[in-house]
Amino acid sequence: MRTLFSDKIHAPCSPAAELRPDPFELPFQSSLHSSRSASVVNNWLTQQFQNELPSTNETSYTHGAPNPLPPMRRKANPRFVFMGMRRCGKSSVQKVVVQKLPPADSLYLEPTYKVEHATMHGSFLHFESAEIPTQLPVLSPSYDHASIFSNIGAVIWIIDSQDEYFSSISELLRTAVFLAKNYPSINLDVFIHKTDGLSEEYKYDTFREVRQRVQDELSDVGYGHRSISYYQTSIFDHSIFEAMSKVVQKLLPQLPSLETLLTKLCATCRIQKAYLFDTVSKIYIATDASPTLLKDYEVCSDYVDVIVDIKQLYGWQEQVGAPSTSPPQQQEQQEEDEQRQNSSDAGLIGESIVTYDKTGDGYMFAREVNDSLSLICIMGKGSSVEKRVLIDYNVDVFVDAVVKIFQV
């Protein structure tokens, strides 16, 4: 039988997974041909932003000095805050992603006037988020910054792509400079939101323009090294969960080990793509090193929805029968229960294989690591049901390795 992993798979010297292209980040040229009106607006943004910077003789970063800081990875639960201008979609994103509100119901949300906290209960990572209202002066020197920024791992700035976004870019620049000075280890992510109602050409032009302006303005004030990630999102499709998955992954210290495990699993069993899903939130916390396609994620995300619906109706847990009154049978039953508990809830594990394309060559494989973490794989030719013994054996090894990683 072929063995999948070595004993030193969790060692820090294990090779890092290759970088995967992000389907939501477009290839971006260094130069942008803009019209005369666009250059006037750009000059106005530069002048306004420089006027808002403090005039003290503080030491600023030069263009070539520090390298970008690595993503901040915390051992505690992932925590992030949503910021942005009024009516940009902060409340809807938090309630749809964290509180599982149906997207159609988010159209009737009331404006937010105070900090709103939310926690996802029942998930594997227990996400914690907060929404900062626009009128709250969190960047003011007199405000208690530590109450918001001391325990978070990422700031998510939301820009309404269907509205005038120059003022939002100006506030985003102030926030980026503030974080670079006071909290440089906090990740900054930008959601270019509400892209579902835009044409493809206008959507990509808006994405490029926002990214170019932010990078140019930060370079002009000496913070060009500040790393910022950009995503196109909408609550009415899978893009918001894809973007949140990228944000959460940068906060996980176990991400390199998980990516290495998934990559080796795919290479051994000839799996096209493998995701490690948080079953409740539909956020995948890791995937293999192969390029990520949006259609693959959409299929797996819909499959997770089916899994959750079936679990709510029937459940995957194998019910343990009541012990018999005879002492031998009762002792045997207790031993079986202990074995199941020691094998990381083996009685809770469920799996299935379904065909999802017309040719019959594509399969989806689901395996539950625990009650809130699932392995979803897309398998094609060469990895069919005839090799279920090899697949089951290697997946068992993978599940044991994942359990050990999160127990460290």
Residue 49 has pLDDT above 60, yes or no: no
Residue 241 has pLDDT above 90, yes or no: yes
Residue 405 has pLDDT above 50, yes or no: yes
| Neighbour count for residue 138 (Cβ, 10 Å) | 17
Residue with tokens 């060692």: 11
Q: Report the alpha-carbon distance of residue 245 to residue 260 in Å, rounded.
A: 18
> What share of the chain has pLDDT > 70, as a percent?
69
Pairing of strands 363-370, 351-355: antiparallel
With 0-12 / 13-18 / 19 or more C-beta atoms within 10 angstroms meaning exposed / middle / buried, residue 220 is: middle
Band (pLDDT 50/70/90 cuts) for residue 337 is low
* 3 DSSP assignment: -
Name the residue among 5, 73, 54, 46 with its Cα closest to residue 252: 73
Specify whether the backbone of 291 is left (phi greater than 0), alpha (psi in -120 to 50) or beta: beta
Q: Which whole-number Å values give the CA distances from 207 to 40, 190, 325, in the listed order?
A: 19, 10, 69
Bridge partners of 119, per DSSP, are 128
pLDDT of residue 261: 94
pTM: 0.73
pLDDT of residue 334: 54
Q: What is the pLDDT of residues 340-349, one digit of tens each?
A: 444 444 444 5
Q: Report the alpha-carbon distance of residue 197 to residue 93 in Å, rounded.
A: 16
Bridge partners of 233, per DSSP, are none
CATH fold, domain 36-249, is Rossmann fold (3.40.50)
Helix (H, G, I), strand (E, B) or coil at 393: helix
R_g over Cα of the chain: 24
Q: What is the pLDDT of residues 170-204, one digit of tens each?
A: 999 999 999 999 999 999 999 999 998 888 899 99
| Residue spans in the chain of domains classed CATH 3.30.450.190 | 255-318+343-407
Question: What is the CATH code of the structural domain delimited by 255-318+343-407?
Answer: 3.30.450.190
Band (pLDDT 50/70/90 cuts) for residue 375 is very high
Residue 96 has pLDDT above 80, yes or no: yes
* 104 DSSP assignment: G
Pair 250, 212: CB distance under 8 Å: no
Most confident of 37-41, 42-46, 231-235: 231-235
Q: What is the pLDDT of residues 301-319, one digit of tens each?
A: 888 888 888 877 776 554 3
pLDDT of residue 169: 93
| Residue spans in the chain of domains classed CATH 3.40.50.300 | 36-249
Name the residue among 187, 204, 186 with its Cα closest to residue 195: 204
Residue 291 has pLDDT above 90, yes or no: no
Q: Report the alpha-carbon distance of residue 371 to residue 206 in Å, rounded.
A: 41
Residue with tokens 């009415």: 236
E-state strands within 122-241: 128-131, 154-160, 187-193, 228-232
